[in-house]
Structure 1
Amino acid sequence: MKMDNSPARGTRDLLPATVAVRDHVLARITEVYHRYGYQRIETPALEGIDRLTGGQGGENEKLIYRVLRRGLDETVAADTALTDLVDLGLRYDLTVPLTRFYGANQASLPQPFRSFQFGPVWRAERPQKGRYRQFYQCDIDLLGEETVLAEVELIEATTEALAAAGLSGATVRVSDRRFLSALAASVGLPEPEWAGLFITLDKLDKIGWDGVRAELSGRGLDDAAVDRLQASITDLQGGDQTTLDKRLLDALPGLPEQVVADLADTATALAGVDGLAWEFDPTLVRGMGYYTGQIFEITHPASKGSIAGGGRYDRLIGRSLGREVPACGFSIGFERIVDLIEGTTATDAVAVLYESDVPLPVVTATAREVRQGGRTASAVRRRGKFGAQLGKLQEWGFTSVLHVKDAVTPPEERPLGER
């Protein structure tokens, strides 16, 4: 019987050239995050199913890969409850494991704690371009900092990390869950209906105000209420970010003073960051239900969706620790970043191409000399047609070749692509 060597549907094998790009992106991001004081931690792929289904992950909880308990019989009764069969699941993000990690280890961690995580997560997605069932996330979180220093630092560090990886032209969008709640209350919508309003606003760029108006009418909002909602949002789109506090109060007079002050402090601090493009976006929602304050996303003209996102989640860690801990995090869409810059990064790799009669010590000494200069070198035996082999070397990622013809003739290096 022929063996099926294909990966599971929705997952991928990664060839060396792709892995090289991923390594480059991760190295640049890691370097920047370390300069800001973020420390790398690791958490297990498997988490208790009760924690994964605790209401922290929103729609992602419907996409969990569940793991059967050990020791089950080959067959079970038809009326057996799922909770009797499953006790673990694969993590769908890195935030839920972080809350458990901090609850278990906070006594041994610096305060505030700057966490950096990179690792695979799993979601039972419908596979499509840019969406995979196994993919990598890259997160930083600042735990124990109650001021907007956390928001500003996360935004600055992440935009700097993306630039270091080779991605320019990104824009940060900022909003606040407290602002969205005040906006919903201002048009007389009862609190149980707020989540539906947020979902509708999140679709504004796709369905336009006519579509939003139709959906909100179905939720019981009259035309006058929708007009007020549209006016508040329109007044806050674009405009001068340095006067955000005044514009917020003009558009929504009942907005709490702390929300205005926090957003104004963020605006002032971000204004001092060279090369950082950002805007307040009153329609930004974010899907996770655990956000309690400012939220943010990074967009790029070449990507249909956001390439990074996060926000403040002050009440989430308290579920594990028994007391509230200020917390704010930012997650980079690592796969999307790699897709955007793939093909734009170049590595310096030398092929030490040696004839079959060249003594082994000569070959290894030549390669060793190249490596001592900090470059990558691999010995490759000459075979077949010379031009065809050079083409293959270039295809495999080598940028130049040293042709070792014999034991006495010094080899000359030449870039691949030249004949």
Structure 2
Amino acid sequence: MDNSPARGTRDLLPATVAVRDHVLARITEVYHRYGYQRIETPALEDIARLTGGQGGENEKLIFKILRRGLTEFPDSLDQLADLGLRFDLTVPLTRFYGNNHAALPVPFRSFQFGPVWRAERPQKDRYRQFNQCDIDLIGEESVLAEAELIEATTEALEAAGLPGTTVRLSDRRFLSALAEGAGVAPEAQGSFFIILDKLDKIGWEGVRKELTERAGFSESQADGVQASITALQGLDPAKLADQLTDAVPNLPEDVASDLVATTTALAELAKTRELGWEFDPTLVRGMGYYTGQIFEVSHPGTSASVAGGGRYDKLIGRSLGKDVPACGFSIGFERIVNLLDNAPRTDAIAVLHEADVSPSEVLAVARQLRAEGRQVTTIKRRGKFGAQLGRLAEWGYTSFVHVRSGEVADERALGIRESS
């Protein structure tokens, strides 16, 4: 019998979990300082909600749950499932808010951490089961939401051990205006966004091929899109509004002014910490529910983004019956953990006791150490003393006390041998 975990999933050893706990604790501490409150939502959601057309390519990766009590095979395969495992935390959040908004403050600052599932091909840093870490600000219509989310998340990343991040910023409304100017019909913009989102993976040659062969774009439309986006790369931040308006004449004035407001906040923030930022006209974000500004955070340690999010003002209305302004940011928790090589050193003490020491004496020593607020574990002495100390160090212990019958040796740092 094969005892390995399912493909795309992992068993996590204590040292790995220690890193994960450290990262989550640092992120949680920062988000709590900003007023974000922890909530939890179920892993299972109604399949109709998960396949509502707002999840982009992720809707093809849903793990579906068979209906209970089927007595005959349905006419359609789609009728076999009525539930699915969530592929992100945003879609469940919108249902949560629709059900509970009357009991929540306005605006509501939400913090979530939990597993999500996607039935994709497992590869480096991509798993079928992985954890997401999200904050969302619901009920704030101004770009204060975007600016605060970016500030809080970059601070959380730095606290977790990833300073020196770069924020990339764009806007779905800008992309829509750009597409419209290039002759892309509104009903074709969804396909356009999905294909453009692959630019960093397949390059302009691949994007042009998919636009013309898969999405039915003309060569002139593909040329217009590429020329417009290329011309907007490397804009002078100080002249962002004028340059955007010149490049995309049909861009609504409020879109340009919102981007300026966010980039101004980013420029001020960058004066206080190690942080870079840029306007990136190629940034799309794959989810179909984004309605305004979108952003991603990159780090020199990886080519993939370590966090991303944006505004989704229309999504909550599907549950509540009326639109509510909302903006969110998701941290790539697994990628961050993989970037941090070593577990943090904690004050972990082993109470190493001989076999003839009574349990009450062993526990008394451990109790006194725990009263000092320290992490203490009792472990029986066995085998060669030096070899056991080496194993304790490998397991993450920083010091030990050796308890013999009627005697407790002074605390010693691991790596300093004691004669047996």
- CA contact 1:286–1:295 (8 Å) conserved in 2: yes
- CA contact 2:354–2:381 (8 Å) conserved in 1: yes
Residue-pair matches, total:
413
Deviation at 1:216, TM superposition (A): 4.8
Matches of 2:228 and 2:156, distance apart in 1: 34
- CA contact 2:110–2:136 (8 Å) conserved in 1: yes
Deviation at 1:330, TM superposition (A): 0.6
In structure 2, what residue type is equivalent to 1:361?
A: S
Aligned residue for 2:407, secondary structure, equals coil
Per the alignment, residue 343 of structure 1 pairs with: 342
Aligned residue for 2:151, secondary structure, equals helix
Is the deviation greater in 194-203 or in 289-298? 194-203
Per the alignment, residue 244 of structure 1 pairs with: 240
Deviation at 1:320, TM superposition (A): 0.8
Matches of 1:92 and 1:198, distance apart in 2: 20
Change (3 A) 1:204 1:91: closer
- Structure 2 residue aligned with 1:81, among 76, 91, 112? 76
Change (3 A) 1:22 1:108: same
Matches of 1:418 and 1:210, distance apart in 2: 63
Deviation at 1:171, TM superposition (A): 1.1
Per the alignment, residue 268 of structure 1 pairs with: 264
Residues 1:197 and 2:192 are matched in the alignment: yes
Matches of 1:232 and 1:417, distance apart in 2: 65
Per the alignment, residue 9 of structure 1 pairs with: 7
- CA contact 1:242–1:271 (8 Å) conserved in 2: no
Is the deviation greater in 162-171 or in 343-352? 343-352
Q: What do residues 219-239 of structure 1 show as CA deviations (whole Å, max 9, x unaligned)?
A: 54445x656544543343234
In structure 1, what residue type is equivalent to 2:187?
A: P
Aligned residue for 1:310, secondary structure, equals strand
- CA contact 2:294–2:309 (8 Å) conserved in 1: yes
Deviation at 1:339, TM superposition (A): 0.9
Aligned residue for 1:44, secondary structure, equals coil
Per the alignment, residue 42 of structure 1 pairs with: 40
Per the alignment, residue 111 of structure 1 pairs with: 106
* Identity between Structure 1 and Structure 2 (%): 68
Per the alignment, residue 381 of structure 1 pairs with: 380
- CA contact 2:403–2:409 (8 Å) conserved in 1: yes
Is the deviation greater in 256-265 or in 388-397? 388-397
Matches of 1:45 and 1:88, distance apart in 2: 10
- CA contact 2:347–2:398 (8 Å) conserved in 1: yes
- CA contact 1:391–1:417 (8 Å) conserved in 2: no
Unaligned ranges ≥5, structure 2 = none
Deviation at 1:101, TM superposition (A): 0.7
Matches of 1:215 and 1:258, distance apart in 2: 32
Is the deviation greater in 344-353 or in 202-211? 202-211
Matches of 2:212 and 2:68, distance apart in 1: 51
TM-score normalised over the length of structure 1: 0.92
Matches of 2:209 and 2:66, distance apart in 1: 44
Change (3 A) 1:122 1:260: same
Per the alignment, residue 175 of structure 2 pairs with: 180
Per the alignment, residue 319 of structure 1 pairs with: 318
Matches of 1:82 and 1:211, distance apart in 2: 33
Per the alignment, residue 369 of structure 2 pairs with: 370
Change (3 A) 1:239 1:83: closer
Unaligned ranges ≥5, structure 1 = none
CA RMSD after TM alignment: 2.1
- CA contact 1:123–1:134 (8 Å) conserved in 2: yes
Q: What do residues 111-143 of structure 1 show as CA deviations (whole Å, max 9, x unaligned)?
A: 111111111111112222211111111111111
Aligned residue for 1:60, secondary structure, equals helix
Q: What do residues 266-311 of structure 1 show as CA deviations (whole Å, max 9, x unaligned)?
A: 0111111122321110000010111100001111222232111110
Matches of 2:311 and 2:364, distance apart in 1: 55
Aligned residue for 2:289, secondary structure, equals coil
* Mapping 1:20-419, distance limit 5 Å: 20-73=18-71, 76-77=72-73, 80-213=75-208, 215-216=210-211, 219-222=216-219, 229-273=225-269, 274-275=272-273, 276-343=275-342, 345-416=344-415
Matches of 1:22 and 1:307, distance apart in 2: 15
Aligned residue for 1:277, secondary structure, equals strand
Aligned residue for 2:167, secondary structure, equals strand
Aligned residue for 2:303, secondary structure, equals coil
Change (3 A) 1:177 1:82: same
Change (3 A) 1:210 1:8: closer
In structure 2, what residue type is equivalent to 1:187?
A: A
Matches of 1:376 and 1:267, distance apart in 2: 45
Matches of 2:209 and 2:4, distance apart in 1: 46
In structure 1, what residue type is equivalent to 2:374?
A: R
In structure 1, what residue type is equivalent to 2:283?
A: L
Is the deviation greater in 63-72 or in 323-332? 63-72
Aligned residue for 1:18, secondary structure, equals helix
Matches of 2:184 and 2:51, distance apart in 1: 29
